[in-house]
Amino acid sequence: MEHAESQVTTLLVSQPNFADHHTPQGHPERADRIRAVEDALAGPDYAALKRSNAPFGDIMLAELVHDGTYLARLRDARPAEGIGQLDADTFISDGSMGVAATGLGGALAGLEAVLLGEVDNAFCAIRPPGHHAEIALPMGFCLINTIAIAAREAQRKYGAERVAIVDFDVHHGNGTQDIFKDDPSVFYASSHQMPLYPGTGSPAETGVGNIVNVALPAHSGGEAMREAYDDIILPALDNFAPDHIRDPLAQLEWVDGDFGWVTAKLMEVAHRRCGNRIVSLLEGGYDLKGLAGGVRSHVSTLLDL
Amino acid sequence: MADTAHDDVKTLSFEAALEQLEQIVAKLESGKAPLAESIAIYERGEALKAHCEALLKTAEARIEKITLNREGKAVGTEPLDAG
């Protein structure tokens, strides 16, 4: 599995039906986000990416992390036509469950390719995001918690004992924390702006010692982020010694290079601890230019460009 | 999207724009705004900040040196040579 640096292989998983999940006009979580990501990774610089299309994942796997009535409640909220609303932020249209299913299928395809050693790492350009979806509550644009389900599948299907999730979206992943807060086999670290939506993510929230939250003030910039990772998140991650690492993506007045920096640091731990195995899922990122730049920096680093 | 949605910002006075900006910062920092609203008001905040910065720059360019006569009274202005 050990590759020379020039032979790093990165899989880009795309989602063919991403535009079938409809949100109201002007809503930040929109199909153009995925178009911006795909455009950002279309150039000759990214010719080395292996590419695949996300298959439909088994949506029932959502019950690995959500309660027994969760999927039924989502289905009931889905209108025959038009757009239904789950809360002030979160919408569901007729095609949304199919898009959530390919988002999950894409994440699981990335997971399988990495865990079977077909590629070194994978980036999944999927929507809707998932990290705000709690055990019992869809919220914050999120229908199902895709990364949490994939982490559970890594354990259930592929025998991973310890899975680490590192979340550098600007918002705290309250859902992912809610799902794993009592489970010492899954480590969850998040750096996020605070105070900001959803209001959770205080450093005092530590689960059973498996949760690490770093709250960054508004406009703190890349320097504060680097200190937080060097001093707090990376040592905790290293100490946890995961079988593989999953990282979701989005922004906090970081310049593009900051996304590359944090990616490189996570790759160092992955190299030392888990045979380089990283599966990355897109979470937020609503400014299209910022999203494209952050993704380019992140994927270039995964590709070791 | 952001460029056209906040065109009205360009008609605001510096004081009005700054006041709106302060309200947005307070709301964002409360952590209580829903996600979609917080993203929308953040974009408006960016437009307000850009507008305030542009107004400041224009004002700076207009600062003129007040010239005084021998009695110390202002007799006119000349462009500031900030050197």
- Of A98-112, A122-136, A262-276, minimum mean pLDDT range: A262-276
pLDDT in tens, A135-189: 999 999 999 999 999 999 999 999 999 999 999 999 999 999 999 999 999 999 9
pLDDT value of position B70: 75
Catalytic residue chosen out of the listed positions A132, A171, A172, A244: A132
Question: Quick one: pLDDT band at residue A1, thresholds 50, 70, 90?
Answer: very low
Catalytic residue list contains A132: yes
The average confidence (pLDDT) of chain A is 93
Flag whether the ipTM exceeds 0.85: no
A244, pLDDT greater than 50: yes
User: Mean pLDDT across the stretch B74-79?
Assistant: 69
Taking contacts as CB-CB distances below 8 angstroms, the residues of chain A near B28 are: 195-196, 218
Q: What is the 3 state secondary structure string of chain A?
A: CCCCHHHCCEEEEECCCHHHCCCCCCCCCCHHHHHHHHHHCCCHHHCCCEEEECCCCCHHHHHHCCCCCHHHHHHHHCCCCCEEECCCCCEEECCHHHHHHHHHHHHHHHHHHHHCCCCCEEEECCCCCCCCCCCCCCECCECCCHHHHHHHHHHHCCCCCCEEEEECCCCCCHHHHHHHCCCCCEEEEEEEECCCCCCCCCCCCCCCCCEEEEEECCCCHHHHHHHHHHHHHHHHHHHHCCCEEEEEECCCCCCHHHHHHHHHHHHHHHHHHCCCCEEEEECCCCCHHHHHHHHHHHHHHHCCC
Chain B residues touching A286 at Cβ < 8 A? 39
What is the model's pLDDT at position B66? 65
pLDDT value of position B4: 67
pLDDT for res A5: 47
A251 pLDDT higher than 60:
no
> Residue B1: pLDDT band by 50, 70, 90 thresholds?
very low
Q: Does A194 touch chain B (CB under 8 A)?
A: yes
What pLDDT does residue A219 have? 81
B21 pLDDT above the threshold of 60: yes
Question: Which CATH number does the domain housing residue A94 bear?
Answer: 3.40.800.20
Number of structural domains found in chain B? 1
What is the pLDDT confidence band of residue B30, given thresholds at 50, 70 and 90? confident
pLDDT at B59: 81
The structural domain count of chain A equals 1
Closest partner residue to B32 (CB to CB) among A171, A194, A199 is A199
A141 touches chain B (CB under 8 A): yes
The whole domain housing A59 covers 5-302
Q: Which domain holds residue B27?
A: 2-79
Residues of B in contact with A143 (CB under 8 A): none
Per-residue pLDDT at A3? 46
B72 pLDDT above the threshold of 80? no
